[in-house]
Amino acid sequence: MGSVKDLKIIQEPTGINSGVGFFSFSDRYSVFDWGEMPDHIAGKGKALCIIGAYFFEKLLEAGIDSHYRGLVGNDGVIRQIKDMKEAPDIMAVSLYRVIRPIEKNGSYDYSEYRGTSVNFLIPLEVIYRNRLPEGSSVLKRLAEGSVSLADLGLTNMPGPGDVLEWPILDVSTKLEATDRYLPWSEAKAISGLADTNFNNMEKLTERINTIITSEVERIGLVNEDGKMEFAIDNSGNVVVVDVLGTPDECRFTYNGIHVSKELARVFYRETDWYRDLESAKKKNRLAWKSLVASNPPHLPDQLSGLISSIYQAVANELTGMHWFRVRPLSEIMKDIQYELAKSKQG
């Protein structure tokens, strides 16, 4: 069970053999690595399942391999999107071994990855950035000095809202208690990947970024940034795993307004709970959660309802199919704009 989706293992991956699993998408959500938040967002699980499947099928058309097998209907039959009669919340995927790094004295040992050549999850997240919206971690890290302009291939200090001349690729850990950004040299070292596969992972991220950007532009969205996860399959090739192209994996905007759970992050950044959380992470990177004395408050009902409608409208308009009974995205975003303006005044 994850903070957002659950995994049912149908066939466990072992040795050189991949397995089979079902992702069950829930209405739960998570922000700031906290885990499950106190509210659920109605319809989000089915919307994410549909959007993720849509992009996996687009990758297939582009000749990009992934672990996607199809969507699971109420009758247990695996189908493609066009053959589904109602909104699904279960996706069938291939599974690869998860080799967890060993925590030792406040750091992690990745030595088991060296010499491992097939059937495993790469312990990294690759992040593409087309813009640097307000709240981007890049701006925060530049201000703190934890990353330099040269590290990111930049020559001038960027500001909130800047459109990048070309996408920045960033990389972070995936299997540690708290994700941490890495220099590319360290990312390669801990992954144990050969040069060819490591370079392919970067190239695939760039190609997928282009596909997502093109698709969401059709419905008026801007693809600000997003993340990818990868594995090495039974043949030793890089494949895309987890889910991609959704409002949870990407930061989309509509006329400058966030179209994702980033709206929840904006709300929570003004709370005492968030300030406690940030303080705890600075004190102990591994066991920070136990140091947070407060709990996250509930989202306002109006905001929760609007976020719910956003997810469902994106699924409808991206696929061109009427899965959910919600208003057009353009109308929902007008309400979001009104609510945000009202909150600033109040």
Name which of 328, 317, 241 is nearest 50 in CA terms: 317
CB contact set of 108 (below 8 Å; sequence gap of 6+): 101, 102, 173, 176, 190
Cα angle 27-210-97, degrees, rounded to a multiple of 5:
55
In whole angstroms, give the CA distance from residue 106 to residue 103: 7
pLDDT at 137: 85
Residue 110 has pLDDT above 90, yes or no: yes
The DSSP line for 279-346 is: HHHHH-SSSGGGG--S-PPPPPHHHHHHHHHHHHHHHHHHHTS--S----HHHHHHHHHHHHHHHHH-
pLDDT at 224: 93
In whole angstroms, give the CA distance from residue 88 to residue 126: 28
Residue 117 has pLDDT above 70, yes or no: yes
Q: Which CATH number does the domain housing residue 196 bear?
A: 3.30.470.20
* High-pLDDT (> 70) share of the chain, %: 97
Residue 218 has pLDDT above 80, yes or no: yes
The total domain count for the chain is: 1
Q: Is the dihedral of CA 163, 169, 175, 178 positive or negative?
A: negative
Question: What pairs with residue 252 in β-bridges?
Answer: 223
Strands 250-254 and 222-232: antiparallel
Q: What is the mean pLDDT of residues 296-304?
A: 92
pLDDT in tens, 136-169: 889 988 998 888 888 888 888 998 888 898 899 9
pLDDT at 346: 52
pLDDT in tens, 254-299: 998 889 888 888 889 989 999 999 999 999 887 899 999 999 999 9
Q: What is the mean pLDDT of residues 66-75?
A: 96
Residue 98 has pLDDT above 80, yes or no: yes
CA distance readout (Å), 165 to 82, 132, 135, 153, 241: 37, 11, 19, 11, 28
Q: pLDDT band for position 184 (50/70/90)?
A: very high
- Quote the mean pLDDT of the chain: 92
Place of tokens 């066009």: 82
Specify the pTM.
0.91
Name which of 254, 256, 246, 167 is nearest 212 in CA terms: 246
pLDDT at 344: 59
Q: Which two tokens stand for residue 327?
A: 């208003």
In whole angstroms, give the CA distance from residue 37 to residue 40: 8
In whole angstroms, give the CA distance from residue 8 to residue 1: 9
Could you tell me the residue range of the domain that residue 209 belongs to? 5-345
Which has the minimum average pLDDT: 32-36, 54-58, 259-263, 310-314?
A: 259-263
- 26 close to 37: Cβ distance less than 8 angstroms: no
HSE toward the beta carbon, residue 323, CA cutoff 13 A: 29
